[in-house]
Structure 1
Amino acid sequence: MKMIKSTLAIACLTALVSTSTLGQEVGALQGVLTDKSQTSYFEGADIQIKELGASAVSRRDGSFRFNNLPEGNYTLVVQYLGAPTVELPIQISAGQTLQQAVVLAAANASLENIIVYGQRAGKASALNQKRMSDSIKSIVSAGSIGQFPDQNAAEALQRLPGLSIERDQGEGRFVGIRGIDPNLNNVTINGVNVPSPEGGVRSVALDVIPSELIQSLEVSKSVTPDMDGDAIGGSIEVKSLSAFDKKGTSASLTVQASQNQLRDEISPKISGSLTTMLTDTVGVAAALSYFDRSFGSDNIESNGDDEVEQRYYSISRQRIGSAVNLDFRPDMNNQYYLRTLYSSFADDEFRLSNTFVFDGADSEIERGSKDREETQSILSITAGGEHQLEDWLIEYQVGYSKADEDEPDALYYTLVGEGIEIDSDMAGPIPTVTQEAAAMDLSNYELDEVSFEKNHAEDSETMVKADFTRYFDWQANQVEFKFGGKYRSREKSADADIIIYDGDFDDIDPSIFASSTPDWGLGDFGPGLDRSFMREYYGQQSNAFEIADLDSEVESNGASYVNQEDILALYLMGKIDLENLRIVAGLRYEDTDFSTSGMRVELIENEATDIEEVVNTLWESAKSYSHLLPSVNLRYEFNDKLIGRAAFTQTISRPKFEDSAAFQIIESKTEEDDGEFVTEREAEVGNPDLEPYEADNIDLALEYYPGDIGILSAGYFYKSIDNFVIITDVAGTDGWEGFDEVMQPINGESASVSGIELSWVKGFDNGLLLSANGTFTSSEAVTLLDGERYETSLPNQSDRIGNLTVGYESEDVSVRLTMTYKSENLEEIDGDLIRMEDKHQQMDFMGKYFINPNMHVYFNAINLTDEPFYHYFDQPSVNAQYEEYGRTFELGFNWKL
């Protein structure tokens, strides 16, 4: 490995000094690629100077540039999937920069139709960018996002090869790349790393980003040295709108109403965007989205043995997203920008639950409620500039991002009924529960516990970076040498304030909380609980309740901590075109300083000394580590239709914040047993000494582009992961002597994942569009169960992931039927049971009718087959969780300028 790193470093340094054209009289070419109306730009076009073998790729504003061109007459060749090849004569003069506009136009107006009607335009843009990329990428353009009934960035990404989503209440939330844990992905918005609003994790819930604010989504499955190294799964880049994406003024407005069948609620949505050039050099882009969705779910869970829980959810989710972006481009060589994105996600949830514990005459029922509104927000601000100084490109950027999660007034009630006859067959995905009539009368219950919680998590990051690129020729080959650095300072905090009431309830008749029986479709639920009255009652009577001081203190202090992480990254890389082979290679160095501060909280209950107390001790820890990460990406163009790729990269992923946080929750109980006092000690603790995950990644891919809007591709990948984190019982080990159980994250043995990706996209002249992809993987990991090594697959790793789309488009209509599939996967090891997530197959439909080129109405049907979410223990007949969401129908109108 040291030899590989040394070779890469020497190669990059050699590229720096081998400037054979230095001192020669050369010229340059700058251009813009537009449509015939000169209102739309084309990104990802392959632009070549035939006689020199030089090539460039058009950017999102259609611009391209060639440096170090010898004086002479040449032929400029432009290739873009879905459009005929364009050839133009050009003349390069020494010491001058030629300005050249290139128009893509087609006979039979086929290209114009592609531009006007988004189904083909979005696919063409994404495929062209993928084809010309230096690394292995999958891309979703803004046009493609609008062609699916996807509500957020996570759902838009699920259509790509190798990507799957984890759902919450039926909505896509976290994105997995090739089945890897979403915590091992890197997510950026306009180049700024996105912190996670949820406490304890690194994974970014992409459902907080409305799809209307997005210009494109790029998923890099192999990284280059100028990208962040913490991307074992991959890197997801969210790009928002820019005024220079189109010429002149553009605008859009969408109005929608949707209905969820399960709760029969109507939900409104409105969104709009505007891009305009204030002057020839200053542009502004703005977007706003509002969606208030009311829905719910019916749920039944079990522990696989002697407990069943029924759950009824009523949910309202409100999303507000906005983006305002400014661009100043005084000329083609200089540009400055300010990018902002704000998203707020308010989740108002009311949950009713019935928990049945089967123990013969000692059986009991717990009827409970959860009433809370949780708000998550993400703010991203970045400013920067780019300057082309002859053979140098200088880029710099500063950014600030902040995410938080606020749960200010969560209220929980628990009612307990004893001596009531209940029974269950504990069989099948939906276990049947039988209960006598007394179970339906809340006067047969007692109020057991009330808790009130204020929880807040915050994650903020400040970033500054600079990149320097030098262009030159070496032995008639194009060479780029690039180097730069990035500094990130991040702070993650979690703060909990929990009050638990467990007494002075004797005079309360729980029947005062009763409400009508909820419409729960999985069996007999019994009476509901009145949400508004319970909150009103708490406000009036809580001062009379008895507070469980010790439990409240343990829960509050044990869930509060602050983590600080500072990362300094430096890199150098070289890119060279050797005829049909492109090599991108280099080194990235990342140095990490990590510190954490929390509490060691011990609950002591000692009958021998008659002591009950909580002992709080401040716990602080710090750790530093560094990594040198080499990478090589190869792109070989067999011909203009067939491209081969290969990559070797080393990446890391830092542990989840809750795993590495300084917290300890210890329970120590001393009780009399047969005349002797026996002490039992249990603990749940973090591990600030965790090492980051480290991975060697190998990727191979073959891509065939038939010349129209289509691709046939196959790829292989392999990842070897060291320092894989597992949670296990470390009782009896150093520092934990005398404990009966201590659950702690530790670095385990190595894990590996390998697989193949297959993809086919084909657009036909008659308007038919077919798309299919599948990813087939296998993984191995070692965890500990009852102190013994246990070989299993990686958590959340599905062996099979697939998408199928059938679409048709004409000037009047656009329809598509889509299916996503994810096979079963290991969720976790729960005690001595293996918890599995069952396979999930969902079908969605989208239909559009174009009133004219600027207006259309649409109808979406989501989850057509009413697919449930199902977890099981060991075998599919043993329920762990079964949840139904119902179908959702959307009717909307869209106008574009």
Structure 2
Amino acid sequence: MQYKLSRLTAACLTALISTGTYADQGNFVGTLSDSARQVYFEGAQVRIKELNLTTTTRRDGSFRFNNLDAGAYTLEISYLGTAPITRTIRITDDKTSTGEFTLSDSRTAIEDVVVYGQRAGQAGALNMQRSADSIQSIVSSDAIGQFPDQNVAEALQRLPGLSIERDQGEGRFVGIRGLDPNLNNVTVNGVNIPSPEAGVRSVALDVFPSELVEGLVVSKSVTPDMDADAIGGSIEVKSLSAFDRAGQSASVTVQASQNQLRDNTSPKVSASYTNRYDLGNRADVLGIAGAVSWSDRDFGSDNIETNGEDELEQRHYTVNRERLGAALNIDYRPDFNNQYYLRTLYSEFSDTEFRQANVFVFDGDDSEIERESKDRFEEQQIFSVTAGGEHQRQQWLFSYQAGYSESSEEEPDALYYVFKTDGFDINSDLLGQIPDLEQEAAVSQLSNYELDEIEFANNLSEDKEYSLKVDIARDLTFSGHAAQIKFGGKYRSREKQQNTNVTFFDGDFDAIDPGMFADETPDWGLGNFGQGLDKDALRSFFNANRSDFEIAQLDSEIESNGESFINEEDIFAAYLMGKIDMDNLRIVAGLRYEKTDFSTSGQRVELVEDELNDIEQVINTPWHVEQDYDYLLPSLNMRYAINENLLARFAYTQTVARPKFEESAAFQIIESKTEENDDGGYDTEREAEVGNPQLKPFESDNIDLSIEYYPGGIGVLSAGYFYKDISNFVVFADVANLPEWNGFDEVIQPVNGEDATLQGVELAWVKTFDSGLLLAANATFSDSEAVTLLDGERFETSLPNQSDRVGNITVGYEDNQWSLRLTMTHKSENLEEIDGDMLLMEDSHQQVDFSGKYYINQNMHLYLNAINITDEPFYAYFNQRSRNAQYEEYGRTFELGFSWNM
């Protein structure tokens, strides 16, 4: 079917090129703004009535029609929330005519509807969604500011079909329609962003402060000019540009927040500035935009978790997260036909965590207890720079872009302590969200423990990508219909490197009294935690006595070498696509070709412990693997305007997703033990954990159907159906039965599994009323089927991290002084993984947030945000809800701030 569609699409495009005609007459360039010419409007539909030519305004409010015969025409501009604008324009041969249009021409109070407050965000997003060529969900910059969202991930959770994975209560990774975040593509200003985290492709979007973002676009169906690695979808982050606004603008926001669980107050400051400078004539303009955001947040969490069988763990977290983000963007437009730009983005995210833990292992008289500490500082950095331009040459549009992006995650001097004791009476049934624990009073005293192990780590992950893209588009007519042919190519070169450096110390601890590290009992709200550990005392003692400790050389070597690797990936892509407007029907179709050259270098690390031959050593063998593959991927997007208010869409696309780097990396960690048995002989057991450089990419056939009703004013009622047939889904299996692993008892390796399917329905409703009331609701109902392997047998289940139900409800109100929103997000339970013979399930999560603003005047306002009002915890369980896997509380957070805009 794929090749038939490919040939059919290619034939249609060839016909379009060969039979198209065009004229080289006059052009028209216009802009759409508010009456003060301070705000531009993106996504407005602009139509020349007599010719039935339609286009949409860009983010700077501009639109363009090329190759028009001389004469007078009727121009119609439609923007949700306003009355249509109708004007007469005149075209002259061989000249570019210009025009400026303001929405306030159509209604006196227009600024109150689409320029000011929360309705601005809804109007902008819905207009862009309505005019899009593919199926999209959009968050405008105005909408981001209307919710108490800390970062990009949390802003995206408000959209239909999107959910987030949280860490310490904060949103980090974004899932689209329940799929793994690694199956999404993330770009910033058109450049693919590498992941700072080791081994993965998914980008934790909490590293981007929401203040630096001008808009977010989620494409759930792709077009041929987009990267194909988007089985879930593509997330585009747009940073601020001077041409998003007219003239000079500035903003400053200061905020203080408090987390109730740890009773800490944290500051946040952000600012932005844009200006446009005329350089000789009206069209010769230089634009500069800059933004910066800084926050320093202190908070924490209380946790209790079990393994579902014989182990319970209490955890107390103290966390500090500091975010620094900055963007500097430059645009130069010497005339109507030429544009140049430079986009930069820098983000620095540091996470300082001190975790104290009590681990109880229940085994009757042989029960053991551990007291542990984790003291680590982790810093992630992302830097992106993009340069490019656009040139209009009669009916041709040439655009190009060069980009470089790099990310890193550094974990220097991480320090872990483990203290152990035994002989105490402990017991728990491990049932309930917060299981009861029976223990003797002496268990809480550190003086009853012995220091067992210290771990010291310096880890670094780096990810770099270079890219070059060229696009060429030509306007033409086909059988009397406006059309466009577009083609181009893209080259991406990426290197992902993981360096692990771990040292284990496990001896010369006899003279150490753990009581010297005792601290006051932590404020842990889930029960009796016992004496705490002094973070500074632990660090100082290690620094002063490190040279006296005995190093576990073999354990250190196998972990350091076995978890280090380098992956390289070169991707070349070329595409051909066409777009045609046939009365009320728009068709966008084409082919995309992608070729991937992949290589990975690591080590085969084997720990040999042989009592028979008195051997104890680590054998390191370099391992390098290369492979290449290519795809020809057709896509079809159709948009049909049933009437002025009702749209229907259909999309068929083929997409791919390359495996996680840690899954396809060349690494093998092998443990081989030869020990004497009860009969006097010797037995050898061999186990391994290995990567799989021969993994095939995920492949997906995607079908989308949707209908959108825009009833007038600012609002939409939509419904959609989606279906995905995914091949080469990656599962983890025991492959010890394969010939290459003869003699091994267990070998865990990621392998390509059987097919998986995902289907569902998305529903959304948004409506603003003249009274100031805003109502919004969306829900996604989905179902998946996947096959994994358990003990060598087929096991049918749902996709990991896929929730059957995801939804949002928002109630808002706004007048000239107040802007209020109360919102609830819901995510139903989902399968995390198969743990032995148990299903690890994440319970449903339902969070309520509030945002309120008081406008002192049109330039200044105060705001109050309340996050997680109901103090919703995170909960996971094994098989049934009464069997605890993890329970974690974060507390409520309140934010008070002041914002000024010019």
- Same fold per superposition (TM over 0.5): yes
Cα distance in 2, alignment partners of residues 312 and 162 from structure 1: 33
Alignment match, 1:471: 475
| 1:284 partner SS | strand
What letter matches 1:113 in structure 2? D
- Match in the other structure for 1:863: 868
Q: CA deviation at 1:506?
A: 0.4
* Deviations 1:444-477, CA, capped at 9 Å, x for gaps: 1100000100000000000000000000112221
Equivalent residues in 2 for 1:606-645 (5 A)?
606-645=610-649
**Aligned residue number for residue 675 of structure 2:** 671
**Distance in structure 1 (CA, Å) of the matches to 2:24 and 2:426:** 91
Query: CA–CA distance in 1 between the matches of 2:757 and 2:542?
Result: 52
Q: Which residue of structure 1 lines up, in the alignment, with residue 117 of structure 2?
A: 118
Q: What's the CA shift string for 1:200-244, capped at 9, x where partnerless?
A: 000000000000000000000000000000000000000000001
User: Unmatched 5+ residue regions in structure 2?
Assistant: 280-284
Question: 2:117, 2:814 within 8 Å by CA — same for their partners in 1?
Answer: no
2:89 alignment counterpart = 90
Q: Distance in 2 between matches of 1:724 and 1:19?
A: 43
Partner of 1:428 in structure 2?
432
Task: State how far apart, in whole Å, the 2-side matches of 1:639 and 1:26 are.
Answer: 32
Q: Which residue of 1 aligns with 2:44?
A: 45
Alignment of 1:379-394 (within 5 A): 379-394=383-398
Letter matched to residue 365 of structure 1: I
Residue of structure 1 equivalent to 2:566 = 562
In the TM superposition, 1:345-494 aligns within 5 A as 345-494=349-498
Number of matched pairs: 895
Indicate if the aligned counterparts of 2:117 and 2:819 stay in contact, CA closer than 8 A: no
Q: 2:143 aligns to what SS in structure 1? A: helix
Alignment of 1:128-143 (within 5 A): 128-143=127-142
CA distance in 1, matches of 2:690, 2:117: 52
Q: CA deviation at 1:20?
A: 2.2
User: One-letter code of the match for 2:604?
Assistant: R
Q: 2:86 is matched by which residue type in structure 1?
A: E
Matched residue type, 2:320: S
Following TM superposition, by how much is the alpha carbon of 1:107 offset from its aligned partner in structure 2, in angstroms?
6.3
- Give the distance between the partners of 2:27 and 2:486, measured in 1 at CA: 19
1:703 to 704, 708, 721: 708
Q: How far apart in 2 are the matches of 1:20 and 1:440?
A: 84
1:321-343 alpha-carbon deviations (Å, 9 max, x no partner) = 00000000011211100000000
The SS at the match of 1:84 is coil
5 Å-filtered alignment, 1:177-326, equals 177-280=176-279, 281-326=285-330
* Corresponding residue number in structure 1 for 2:282: none
Q: Report the counterpart of residue 154 of structure 1 in structure 2.
A: 153
Give the conservation status (yes or no) of the 8 Å contact 2:875–2:886.
Answer: yes
User: SS of the residue aligned with 2:741?
Assistant: coil
Contact kept in structure 1, 2:595 and 2:630, CA below 8 Å = yes
DSSP-derived class of the 1:488 partner: strand
Q: How does 1:805-820 map to 2 (within 5 A)?
A: 805-820=810-825
1:756 counterpart = 2:761: yes
Distance 2:736 2:78 in 1: 64
| CA deviation map 1:229-281 (0-9, x unaligned) | 00000000000000011110011100000000000000000000000113351
CA shift, 1:536, in A, is 0.3
Moved over 3 A (4+): 106-109
1:800 pairs with 2:801: no
Find the aligned partners of 1:242 and 1:25 in 2 and give their Cα distance: 32
> Take 1:25 and 1:273, find their aligned partners in 2: how far apart are those partners?
42
2:831 match? 826
Q: How far apart in 1 are the matches of 2:297 and 2:669?
A: 38
Report if the CA contact (8 A) 2:114-2:123 is conserved.
no
Cα drift, residue 93 of structure 1? 2.4
Paired with 1:303 and 1:685, the residues of 2 have a C-alpha distance of: 24
Question: Cα distance, 1:622 vs. partner?
Answer: 0.4
Amino acid at match of 2:490: K
Q: Over residues 614-634 of structure 1, what are the superposed CA-to-partner deviations in whole Å (9 max), with x where a residue is unaligned?
A: 000000000000000000000
Q: Is the 8 Å Cα contact of residues 465 and 486 (structure 1) preserved in structure 2?
A: yes
Equivalent residue number for residue 688 of structure 1: 693
Match of 1:18 in 2: 19
Question: Which residue does the alignment assign to 1:587?
Answer: 591
Displacement of 1:116 in angstroms is 4.5
Contact residue 763 and residue 780 of structure 2 kept, 8 A = yes
Separation in 2, partners of 1:340, 1:109: 39
Spell out the pairing of 1:829-840 with structure 2 (5 A cutoff). 829-840=834-845
SS of alignment partner, residue 40 of structure 2: coil
Pick from 544, 549, 570 the counterpart of residue 545 of structure 1: 549
Q: Secondary structure at the match of 1:796?
A: coil
**2:896 alignment counterpart:** 891
Q: CA RMSD in A?
A: 0.8
Aligned partner letter, 2:729: F
Distance 1:589 1:667 in 2: 43
Q: With structure 2 as the length reference, what TM-score do the two structures score?
A: 0.99
Which SS does the other structure have where 2:723 is aligned? strand
**Corresponding residue SS for 2:456:** strand
Q: Deviations over 1:716-743 (max 9, x none)?
A: 0000000000011111212111111111
Give 3-state SS (helix, strand or coil) of 1:388's partner.
Answer: strand
Q: Secondary structure at the match of 1:105?
A: helix
Pairing partner for 1:525 from 513, 529, 546: 529
Mind listing any 5+ residue stretches in structure 1 that lack a counterpart?
A: none
Amino acid at match of 1:613: Q
**TM-score of the aligned structures, taking structure 1 as reference length:** 0.99
Whether the 8 Å contact between 1:84 and 1:106 is mirrored in structure 2 is: no
Tell me the distance in 1 between the aligned counterparts of 2:156 and 2:117: 17
User: Is the CA contact (8 Å cut-off) linking 1:83 and 1:106 kept in structure 2?
Assistant: no
Residue 342 of structure 1, aligned match among 341, 346, 354: 346
Correspondence for 1:536:
540
Corresponding position of 1:511 = 515
